[in-house]
Amino acid sequence: MNFKIQFHEPYRSSKCDTDVRKLLLNKKASLFGFGDITNRNEKIIKKKFGFKDILFTNSCTSSLEIAALLTFRKNKNEVLMPSYTFSTTASSFLRSNFSVKFLDIKDQTMMPDLDIIKKNITKKTGVVVIVHYAGLPINDLDKLKIFCKKKKIFLVEDAAQALGSYYKNNILGSFGDLACFSYHETKNIHAGSGGMLVVNNKKFKEKAHFILERGTDRRLVLKNLKKKYSWVTIGSSFNMTELNSAYLSYQLKNYDNIIKKRKKTYEKYLKFFKSNNLEKYFYFNQNRYKFNYHSLFIVLKKYSASKFIKFLKKNKIQCFIGYVPLHNSPFGRKIHNKKLLNTEFYSKKIVRLPIHNNIQLQDIDYIKKVFEKFFF
């Protein structure tokens, strides 16, 4: 179908192309990774966001797999996570022998809250995974962090969509023992495919690198601490290649401007929602903290998402629902057999609207007209 307004267009710039070309022209440079560009990107991230230990990976999925390998404990092998998330949030932990317990969401924020998490904790709970849906934090994130610490439960942030968002004055990715980010094409900035693991718990620092580097301590050789490297743990091939780092480099440097552009679009939407009193017809987020404007979703009060999406498509606006809840998916049904009522209800009411770097403000005027046609 030919849309007038696409839901998403991956960030592209000739500056990214130039950076990749420069790398290719340098015949001595490694294309594999751990090179100058990756190191420079690391410095940019640390300076911008204050993270202490970060590892660039080839996807958020890989970051989650590292997190699962790091946090597995035999006597505490249960992980709690929302059912309302992406498939690999769950599969990465299942692969590391965890049993996954899906949580319901609280309300239209599409995330569980601290009460729901607390109610589901058992003696076996070793990890809680929170998903910063749409780049937004859950309520009580600070209290959750304290709670997990007290209970000796590891907190993992699936921050795939959340680069540059905050809870109060703290950056998302700084709350968990570990935090997983995505540089996939569908996110604000990307490396084609790519990801990042933030290690906040010192205990995991060294091992995280070993896992990323095929289970070896090659890092110690690179740092001149050892002559030959050895196999030291179960690992895999998880690192970001230098080519992908080169593509990402300009976007990291320019990230403030990329967010600014998204903010303009997002705020133009909010303005027409408010001026038309559309709160009557749907919920939308009015974020309190600094935000990366990754995604704009609405949760309809009366109509179903499918009905509204059909109408938008007829008017050449491409929109999507959110996730199909994992516990209702063909594989999820095999590992979970309880109803999660809020998740089932709200996932049929949510519509994600177009927001990306190439949207023009006139496009939002057009979307406004289409909304008015539907609701009035």
Ligand X SMILES: *Cc1c(COP(=O)(O)O)cnc(C)c1O
Contacting residues toward ligand X, per CB under 6 A: 59-61, 85-86, 88-89, 131, 158, 160-161, 182, 184, 195
Nearest distance in Å: CB 25, ligand X: 28
User: By C-beta, is 8 or 218 nearer to ligand X?
Assistant: 8
User: By C-beta, is 174 or 193 nearer to ligand X?
Assistant: 193
User: By C-beta, is 112 or 220 nearer to ligand X?
Assistant: 112
Nearest distance in Å: CB 271, ligand X: 27
Nearest distance in Å: CB 93, ligand X: 12
Strand-pairing partners, residue 299, are: 283, 350
- H or E element that contains 31: none
User: By C-beta, is 83 or 88 nearer to ligand X?
Assistant: 88
Q: Give residue 315's identity as a one-letter amino acid code.
A: N
User: By C-beta, is 66 or 364 nearer to ligand X?
Assistant: 66
User: By C-beta, is 88 or 216 nearer to ligand X?
Assistant: 88
Q: DSSP 3-state assignment of 342?
A: helix
Dihedral of CA atoms 69, 58, 189, 351 in degrees, nearest 10, equals -60
Pairing between β-strand 195-199 and β-strand 53-57 as defined by DSSP bridges: antiparallel
User: By C-beta, is 59 or 265 nearer to ligand X?
Assistant: 59
Nearest distance in Å: CB 98, ligand X: 16
Yes or no: say if 103 and 131 are a contact pair by the CB < 8 Å rule: no
In the numeric block, which tokens belong to residue 266? 């997002």
Nearest distance in Å: CB 163, ligand X: 11
Yes or no: say if 192 and 171 are a contact pair by the CB < 8 Å rule: no
Instruction: Name all contacts of 260-265 with Cβ < 8 Å and 24+ positions apart.
Output: 261/357, 262/188, 262/292, 262/293, 262/294, 262/355, 262/356, 262/357, 263/291, 263/293, 264/361, 265/293, 265/355, 265/359, 265/361, 265/364
Nearest distance in Å: CB 10, ligand X: 12
Nearest distance in Å: CB 26, ligand X: 27
Pairing between β-strand 78-82 and β-strand 125-131 as defined by DSSP bridges: parallel
